[in-house]
Structure 1
Amino acid sequence: MLVPNPKLVPLTLSDDERRVLEGWTRRRTTAQALALRARIVLTCAETGESNTVVAQRLNLGRQTVATWRARFLRDRLDGLSDEPRPGRPRTITDDQVEQIVVTTLESKPANATHWSTRSLATRVGMSQSAVSRIWRAFGLKPHKIDTFKISKDPLFVDKVRDVVGLYLDPPAKAVVLCVDEKTGIQALDRSAPVLPMLPGVPERQSFDYIRHGTTSLFAALEIATGQVISAVKRRHRHQEFLAFLRTIDRNVPAGLDVHVILDNLSTHKTPAVRTWLLKHPRFHLHFTPTSSSWLNLVERFFAEITVKLLRRGVHRSVTALEKDIRSWIEQWNTNPKPYVWTRTADQILESLAAYCQRINDSGH
């Protein structure tokens, strides 16, 4: 039989209090801090032991146990909630917050396409910093805009399942290649020498440039390894595409089928291409839906070479540009990194369906 500590004020729970406290310790939605306080009170009531012993049982500090025991004895269940913290009284009402949110979402200023913190603050008679804080709290960013395009391909669902199926479950004894052309790559030379980066000063280029012509990059990204088969050509007709298919044919071992994911460019579907494919039955073309280049992983590779080579590159001739492109891809292939596709076709289609529903419900 437990003997209560005579120095402690007895902590006795009613049936209702015990039921509420036990519920707080079991419910998933209960805040962790509140659940811990409930366990402290339940342990104190069940054992009658000192704050030190209860603290040891729960692996807590003695002062923590003493604080919540005293708060419960004083205010019962209400004492376990956080007390209001001292500080400046709130000056912005809920109605003012609602006004800012509604105005941001449902109206535009007379002389602009979107609100700024200053223009909205002037409109509602509040400070710019207050508007900024409310925007951050609700995730409102009127200055930003995203673009989108919904594919109208009647075979959209079938093509998504086909392409994603190749990514997630590639066929045996085959390679899967993502193929596309990056056309119109310009050989650009700056009108003045590039100034190198210095401490506190970024690299600087003149805003104007001299064009020296364009070239096109044909690339086939192997999804399993990240290796890239490439060719650089001055034109991008079906003849160049056929030549690139022959390059792929030479680089892929003869015993493997070749599954090629590519877009709906007209040069990919000419009679000459179809004739060549009939003579090379190991090649299987899988077309992405129209307006859906995001399904082709080679676009990620194009983004990589754009950021790391082309965007800030300086070239005085197309020949120099092509040499740099070949060198960069050669270096890439020494340590390739495959891009891993993770979303299933069902997840993609569900996400697009939800997005289309949002568009339909937007009132535009």
Structure 2
Amino acid sequence: PGAERKLTGKEEALLVATACASPPKGRARWTLKLLAGAMVKLTEHKSLSHETVRRRLAENDLKPWRKDMWCIPQVDGEYVARMEDVLDLYAEAPDSRRPVVCFDESPVQLIGETRQPIPAKPGRLERYDYEYRRNGTVNLFVLLDVHRPWRKVKVTERRAARDYAQCM
């Protein structure tokens, strides 16, 4: 605790991109030690422990050994350059005249309970029935400022260009 992080933001992004890429020839998947070795080759680090790699992957909710995870199909030079531009923008000092605003959107399914959940008790979690009632879908547009505790969420019934434009 309190020690400086081994990997910078750019190095962590490189680790994520490497973990999402194809494993070395002759290997079915990446291991933590293989990733640590790859990072030593790709960066100026003389050594990197597999535990550091494990923690950084865990922080990013990455499990490269799982087949159901989503990764960017091709991590080429152009992608890495654009990713570094974004990371550089996030690393800039805050400037109230030039806020760094991120935008994302996501469809969400609205569900309701068909039976009352059983409340939590000491030593037991609250329990929900696996059945649910479908209440439709909505789309969330989310804007947030990287340097300030500010965000805006707009809920729309559809995901159309007009809704996107109104949100901006």
TM-score (norm 1): 0.26
Contact residue 154 and residue 167 of structure 2 kept, 8 A:
yes
* 1:194 Cα deviation from its structure 2 partner: 1.2
Aligned runs of 1:135-214 on 2, under 5 Å?
Answer: 145-146=65-66, 147=69, 149-152=71-74, 155-169=78-92, 172=95, 173-183=97-107, 185-214=108-137
CA distance in 2, matches of 1:239, 1:233: 11
Contact residue 94 and residue 147 of structure 2 kept, 8 A:
no
* 1:148 Cα deviation from its structure 2 partner: 5.4
RMSD: 2.7
Distance of aligned partners of 1:226 and 1:149 in 2 relative to their CA distance in 1, 3 Å threshold: same
Identity of aligned residues (%): 25
CA distance in 1, matches of 2:88, 2:145: 15
CA distance in 1, matches of 2:146, 2:79: 22
CA distance in 2, matches of 1:151, 1:171: 33
Letter in 2 for 1:160: M
Identify, as 1 or 2, the structure richer in helix: 1
Corresponding residue pairs, total = 104
CA distance in 2, matches of 1:178, 1:164: 12
Distance of aligned partners of 1:161 and 1:210 in 2 relative to their CA distance in 1, 3 Å threshold: same
* 1:239 Cα deviation from its structure 2 partner: 1.0
Distance of aligned partners of 1:148 and 1:244 in 2 relative to their CA distance in 1, 3 Å threshold: closer
Cα-to-partner distance string for 1:128-179 (whole Å, 9 max, x where unaligned): xxxxxxxxxxx9xxxx943352442662022112101111115742000111
Cα-to-partner distance string for 1:94-117 (whole Å, 9 max, x where unaligned): xxxxxxxxxxxx9xxxxxxxxxxx
Runs (4 or more) in structure 1 with deviation over 2 Å come to 144-155, 170-173
Letter in 2 for 1:181: E
CA distance in 2, matches of 1:216, 1:231: 8
**SS state at 1:198 partner:** coil
| 1:216 aligns to 2:139 (yes or no) | yes
TM-score (norm 2): 0.54
In the alignment, what sits opposite 1:230?
A: 153
**SS state at 1:202 partner:** coil
Unaligned runs of 5+ residues in structure 1 are 1-105, 107-138, 246-364
CA distance in 1, matches of 2:100, 2:164: 18
Contact residue 170 and residue 176 of structure 1 kept, 8 A:
no
Distance of aligned partners of 1:199 and 1:171 in 2 relative to their CA distance in 1, 3 Å threshold: closer
Identify, as 1 or 2, the structure richer in strand: 2
Distance of aligned partners of 1:195 and 1:169 in 2 relative to their CA distance in 1, 3 Å threshold: same
Aligned runs of 1:1-364 on 2, under 5 Å?
Answer: 145-146=65-66, 147=69, 149-152=71-74, 155-169=78-92, 172=95, 173-183=97-107, 185-245=108-168
